Structures are given as C-alpha cells and as structure tokens.
Amino acid sequence: MQPYIVYMGDSPKGEVSASDLHVNMLQKVVGSDIAPGSLLQSYKRSFNGFVAMLTEKEAQEMAGKEEVVSVFPSEKQKLHTTKSWDFIGFPQQVKRNKLESDVIIGVLDSGIWPESHSFDDKGFGPPPTKWKGSCQVSSNFTCNNKVIGAKYYRSYGFDKEDVYDFKSPRDSDGHGTHTASIAAGGLVRDASLSGFAAGTARGGVPSARLAVYKVCWYDGCYDADILAAFDDAIADGVDVISISLGSSSRDYFKSAIAIGSFHAIRKGILTSTSAGNRGPNPKSLSSFSPWSLSVAASTIDREFFAGVRLGNGQVYEGTSINTFDLKDKLFPLLYAGDAANTSAGADSFISRLCFEEALDKNKVKGKILFCDSYDGEILGGAVGVVTPGTNVGDDAYAVPIPASSLRLEDSAKVYLYINSSRKPTATISRSKEGPNKLAPYIASFSSRGPHPYTPNILKPDLAAPGTHILAAWPPYVPVSGVDGDNRALAYNILSGTSMASPHVAAAAAYVKSFHPTWSPAAIKSALMTTAHPLSADLNPEAEFAYGAGLINPLKAAYPGLVYDVVDADYANFLCGQGYSTKLLQIVTGNRKSSCPESSAVGAAPDLNYPAFVLSASSPSDNSINHVFNRTVTNVGSPTSTYKAKLVAPAGLKITVNPSVISFTSLGEKKSYAVTVQGAVKKLVVSASLIWDDGTYQVRSPIVVYVPT
C-alpha cells in the first residue's frame, strides 16, 4: 500500500463538498470503515482530486471509474545574484512600472528564510487586494509585506526523521530561499560568499511580492504536496509560479507539475519550470508541457578557479569555490584508492570514490586526497581533495574543505606524479574569480531536448542564467550542504536549472507589470520572440539546448506581436496527444469540448507556439515537407506593416504566405503559413523567421531534426 494521486480534472461543481465526494468514492473501493483514514489530502480550490493510501489493485479499480482522469503514485521529485541580471542587459536602473508591487510570484520549493535582508519589507504597503492567501504563522515564522504568504505541505504527516526540518514554511535546505531571492529579492549591498561575487544582490523584480509554498523536505519533494501547493497558489491569486524541480512522467496528466501548471494557465497564471540537470544527454528534460515555460541554464561571464600546486612545482588550474586558505603550505598527497577502510569491508575500488565511510581515517588525516570522484563530504580529517572534472569551470560550488576539480588531462598528470614520487605533496589555493569570455552558452548539466513525446513542440523554451548565481541563504544551513561545515553565511553561490527558472519567472512578472491583462501564452510568446539568439557553435544541440535563446526582459515588455493561445487550442493539442473527448471534458470542466475525428496522435495540430519544430520521419528518411499555421496579435504600433525575413541554411526551402502582414489597430490578429521543404543533412538544422516592421523584430526559431 502506498499514496496514490487520483486526478479528476477541473474543480468540483455543485453542492456536495469535495472531501465528501472523495470519501464516497473511496468507500466504494476500500470500504466504508477504511475510507476516511485512507484519505490523505483533497484538492478542491483550483482543480479536483485527492491523495489516498491504496494498494495497486485498488488504484487500478479507481482508475477505471468514469469521473477519474488518471491515478498515479505520489513519487518523490528532486530539486534541480549580483551579476546575472546585469549580464543579460537588465540593470538595476531599468524602467519599472509601479504595478510591479502588485505582482505576486508563487515559489514552490523548500520554504524561505524570512529574516534575510533580501526579504525586508521596508517601503512596502499592504498586500494587493486580489491576494486571497494566508500565512501559516508559527513560533518561529511570520510573514511581512514582502513575503505576504507562506504555507507548508506534508500530506503523509511527520515522522521521527523530521527533526532535521522545521515544521513551518521556514527553509532548512537553502534551495527555496535562494530561488525566491533570485526572482524577487530586494536590493542588498555588499553581498557575497566570503568575498566571492561581491556586489549588490537583487532579484529581477525587487518590488514584487512573494508567496511561498514549502513542498520540499529533507527526504525530497512529493507529488501529493506539489499538487496541494498548486491548488492553493492558484486560488490564492498569485500571478506567476516558479518551481525548480521536475518529473519524469510521460503522461501530461500523470505529472503533478503538468497538472498544476495546466490549471494555473487556465486561471491566467504562467508557470516557469526548470528544464532539469541531466544534460547533456538528449531527451533528458524533466519539464516539457507546452503550457509551461521550460528553462535551460546558461553560463554568465564569471568563473571560479582554485589552483593545485604539486611538490615538483607544477601548477594546475581547477575549479571550485574554495574559501579556505592553506597559506601555500604543502601537504602529503595520497591517492584515495590507497586509503581503503578494510576493517569496514571497503576496498580500493570503493575508497577511490572518496565516500567517507570507505576511507581509513588514520591514513587520510592531514593529507590531500586525490579522488576519482567527490560528492562534497568532509572526509574524516583530510586537508583537501583534488578530483577530475569533465567540465571544469561549468559548475563550481562551495566545498566544505579545500578542493579543486581539474581537467581530465591535468588529473592524469597529478596521478602520474603520485605514482612516480616517493613523497608526493600538494597544496590547494583559495579560489579566484575570473571572467568566462565564452559566455553565454548552455551549461553541460542543463537538460536537452528534443521534446521526448511531442516532437513538434520546442523544449526547452528559453535559457536564463543558471551558473554561479549569488543569492540569499539561511545562515542556519551549511553553504556546502554538508553537516560539519560550520560557516554561517547569508548568501551562497549555486548552479543549476533551479537557478534559471526564477530568472524567467521574474522576467514574466516584469512583463506582466506592464501588461496585467495579457494571457500567460502572450507573456511566454513575448519572452521567446525577443530572446537573444545563442551560438550553435558553442552549443551543438542548438535550440534543443537553449530554446528560443537567452531571456531579454527589457525587450520582452515590448514585443510588437504575440502568439496567443486560448483554451480551445490546448484542447485540440490534448486531442492530438490521444486524450479522448470524455477525458477532455473532465479536465476542462467544459461538457461541450470534443476532439475532432482527424486528430493525429502524438501531434500538436497547429498549436499557436512561437517556434516551429519538425522531425524527419526516420534516420533513413530525412526528407521533410510540412506546413505550419500561425496567428499573431498586434501589441506594438496600432498601424504597422511587418515583412517576413527568413534565415535558412542550404538544403531547406522555407516560404511564408503571406510574406507581408499589415495592421490598423492594436489587438488585431493576422494568420500566415510557413512551408518547410527539403532534406535534413545533419542531426539538427536551425533556421529562423523574423517579422520586422522597422521598430519591432519578432523572431521565431525554425528547427528541423533527425530523430535518434
């Protein structure tokens, strides 16, 4: 028996309470006596469903009921700045709308540290009247006019292991505090991590409000809690949702994030999600619904280096955020494979990976270890760690002891030195900050497309800064995340698509502050069509690494044209994914919804997406011939004429009909068709369409690829 989520579509209608309805359904499956105790959570504010303890057989019986869309286990999901905003051309002094203080960003994460200076409410008035949420006040937690709402969710209750966490919205992990301050943290001067990345920390929309929903605990983030948070956030009145964790479900309606963000968009709320940290493998995305934003992590022009000097005088530059200073003193250098804790049953094959319990403390004490891998432990008295790294400079992080990750070729030289010296020695320098002259490019860890299940939807949608991001941190939590690291710091540097997602949530909030009536799809379109194009030379996966490009919030507020999407468009899309008319009616709450008989399963029949993606039939048949239909809405100049400009490689014939579109008023819509013909001569071929009226340039990527 385990917790299952029973998803029942749109919010319940009628006089009967949702909880009573859910108990009645359970009684028919598990029995009258057991049903009330089996129900763990009811979703009833924004959509319909519940969580219950069921056996696999009971779950299958529940899935067969007419009113049920899907039944799936509540699985555990993983959590996936002074300079990043300036780097993307969004400085502190940008034009801002006074309505920014009415925008509310909902953050679903590990909670928040409300005392951080980033969340000071000085100068803020009371929350906007549209706010319908609340603050779960406890003995150690209160909200203010900046953090206007905070709740926590633990559908299965607490157990003895929960002593590691706060039974309140307070953050004991650090991840939630970090992401919330990236999105909407206030200005804090002289912020740094022990002097690194020093400057003024700020979020993208420092005047916006925050509503925090704690769904992640010491043991992970469970689907049941994620859905409960979406249920509340939608009803509470947030404007944008940022969630930096992912799902691996293939079915849109067996993914808590896809379900939650679907109901959010129907209430006018855009959800920004992290693409995932499983790159650079293809089809490694953990977030890919077309109604949410999937965000890749790009580098910024900042790196951190820690040098390793050997006893023979050779110096090798590695990467880490090492705040410790060994004063250039040399220490014995030992290969971890020679320090196995044999009394605990470990051998050299295990000890070389530097798991603390696999190392003989007597052998490693006072030495610098050369490890074949290192997961950031303190390692029982070792002075420091040197380890090989596949992408040096891509992802430096704070370490609990002096450490440096070297290039593979340099690591081989260190290993050779150890084996050829009677008494090998080394020292590790305190890190130095330097420029990343190639930035921006997509970090190696950032998950890649193409879309694993709907081949003509571009994913990820966008890229945003996601490496070496300085943001707020709970001083209670070790900056390295390792027990025994006693540094208490108010700011930390992290990398991941988790850091990229709140950048885009903030950009969406910025656009919404100027255009409060725009739909989520219009805001998403504005962000995608104004993004900075990135170089395929630095990112061989091209758009499947960076989507439409790197966010440009300033331009996104004035996009000229937008590709809007209404409920009927998403309904047609779901039909193309194989969902029946009956399920469509349950999900949307519209009994008049129906799927056309011609729906092609797996297709996205002309969903009005601001990108064009086409897959060849197979690796052996690389010919293509397809027509895309799109509609644009004028949000730029009332009277304007746009001309189509195409950038296409040899081998592709792309035509636009009509190639000129004219408008006489704001809000006017015009439709056009793009025909793509030819043969794909490499795995990914990139082109683009730009609608240009001399003032606005509205760019959409065109991507043709060979499936693998």
CA-only gyration radius of the chain, Å:
26
Residue 562: burial class (beta carbons within 10 Å; 0-12, 13-18, 19+):
buried
Q: Which two tokens stand for residue 198?
A: 């020093």
Same domain, 63 and 131: no
Residue 27 lies in a domain: yes
Same domain, 38 and 177: no
Q: Are 390 and 450 within 8 A, CB to CB?
A: no
Q: 102, 109, 225, 236: which is the annotated catalytic residue? A: 109
Amino acid letter, residue 461: D
- Whichever domain contains 348, its CATH number is 3.50.30.30
Please confirm, yes or no, whether 239 is among the known catalytic residues: no
Residue 90: pLDDT band by 50, 70, 90 thresholds?
confident
Same domain, 264 and 340: no
Residue 546 lies in a domain: no
Residue 92 lies in a domain: no
Residue 525 pLDDT more than 80?
yes
> How confident is the model over 609-613, as a mean pLDDT?
96
Same domain, 193 and 127: yes
- Whichever domain contains 617, its CATH number is 2.60.40.2310
Give the model's pLDDT for residue 393: 60
Residue 1: pLDDT band by 50, 70, 90 thresholds?
confident
Tokens 């320090």 -> residue: 339
Residue 99: pLDDT band by 50, 70, 90 thresholds?
confident
Residue 87 lies in a domain: no
Q: What percent of the chain has pLDDT over 70?
A: 97
Residue 477 pLDDT more than 80?
yes
Residues 625-666: tens digit of each pLDDT: 999 999 999 999 999 999 999 999 988 999 999 999 999 999
Residue 172 lies in a domain: yes
Same domain, 123 and 269: yes
Please confirm, yes or no, whether 594 is among the known catalytic residues: no
**Which of 537, 564, 598 is the last residue in one of the domains?**
537
Residue 142 lies in a domain: yes
Q: 568 phi and psi, to 5 degrees?
A: -60, -35
Residue 71 pLDDT more than 80?
yes
Range of the domain at 294: 103-300+443-537
Listed in order, strand segments (DSSP E) in 586-696 are 612-615, 623-634, 640-647, 652-657, 660-663, 669-679, 684-692
- pTM of this prediction? 0.93
- Whichever domain contains 109, its CATH number is 3.40.50.200
Number of domains observed in the structure of the chain = 4
Residues 557-608: tens digit of each pLDDT: 999 999 999 988 998 899 888 888 888 899 988 888 888 776 555 566 679 9
**Which of 399, 415, 434 is the last residue in one of the domains?**
434
> CA torsion, points 475, 478, 479, 484, in degrees to nearest 10?
140
* Closest-CA residue to 69 (of 665, 485, 577): 577
- Whichever domain contains 53, its CATH number is 3.30.70.80
Residue 540: burial class (beta carbons within 10 Å; 0-12, 13-18, 19+):
middle
Residue 20: pLDDT band by 50, 70, 90 thresholds?
confident
Same domain, 157 and 283: yes
Give the model's pLDDT for residue 317: 94
Rounded Cα distance between 705 and 225, Å, is: 38
Same domain, 126 and 270: yes
Q: 80, 175, 468, 503: which is the annotated catalytic residue? A: 175
Residue 55 lies in a domain: yes
Residue 585 lies in a domain: yes
Rounded Cα distance between 199 and 190, Å, is: 5
Same domain, 311 and 294: no
Please confirm, yes or no, whether 373 is among the known catalytic residues: no
Same domain, 286 and 144: yes
**Which of 477, 503, 537 is the last residue in one of the domains?**
537
> How confident is the model over 127-140, as a mean pLDDT?
92
Same domain, 120 and 256: yes
**385 Cβ neighbours under 8 A, 6+ residues apart:** 354, 368, 369, 370, 371, 374, 379, 399, 401, 402, 403, 404
Same domain, 315 and 365: yes
Q: 272, 284, 446, 498: which is the annotated catalytic residue? A: 498
Same domain, 252 and 281: yes
Q: Which two tokens stand for residue 343?
A: 């009394």
Residue 16 pLDDT more than 70?
no
Q: Are 441 and 298 within 8 A, CB to CB?
A: yes
